[in-house]
Amino acid sequence: MSPLEIIAVIVNVLGVWLTAKRIRWCWPVNVVAVLLYVWIFYDVKLYSDMLLQVLFAFLQAYGWWRWSQGGLDQGRVHAERLPLREGVLGVLAGAGAGLLLGWLTHTFTDAALPWLDAQLTGFSVVASLWAARKYVASWGLWIVLDVIYVGQYLYKDLTLTAGLYAGFVVLAVYGLRAWQRDVRQLANA
């Protein structure tokens, strides 16, 4: 456990907590968090995860923009249900991206866990896009992914990061319930 990992964990917890609270300042905080993890994942040869952090930096800008587009109520965005078509396309895109990235990192790098890391990366991009679009389903996908990430990071001896992702599971459950409550309240209004 390095000082960089400790700082990255603290910033990540803050960013996810702000996201769960539907506060749009989560996006710039999350930019700092993901950039810290670029270095950490490079050191342990999780190249797909490293690439994911770079993509997350750009997705944070997209999320900031999307959450700034109306729908604010006391500084918070309103959540929405995921349309079935977007859900199916997202799952197919995540799986396809994961297979392609897995093949590339398996073939051309010394990646530690090329196939698992790549699938987690593909579906994490999908979950992030869904979160930026304020879809409640993003939290369900994050719960599944974060549970798997815990195992991956324990395997790579990133114990603090595994603990962070275990905490993300708890925060994702909180976010799922809070966003579901928001959707129900809007439907009853």
* Total domain count, the chain: 1
Nearest to 82 by CA among 151, 12, 137, 16: 137
Question: Range of 82's domain?
Answer: 3-188
What are the pLDDT digits (tens) for 36-75? 999 999 999 999 999 999 998 888 888 888 878 766 566 6
* Distance between CA atoms of residues 165 and 146, nearest Å: 6
pTM score of the predicted model: 0.86
Contact 25/95 with Cβ under 8 angstroms? no
The residue type found at 121 is T
Task: Give me the mean pLDDT over the 78-93 stretch.
Answer: 96
Per DSSP, the three-state class of 35 is helix
Q: What secondary structure letter does DSSP report for 144?
A: H
What are the pLDDT digits (tens) for 106-163? 999 999 999 999 999 999 999 999 998 999 999 999 999 999 999 999 999 999 999 9
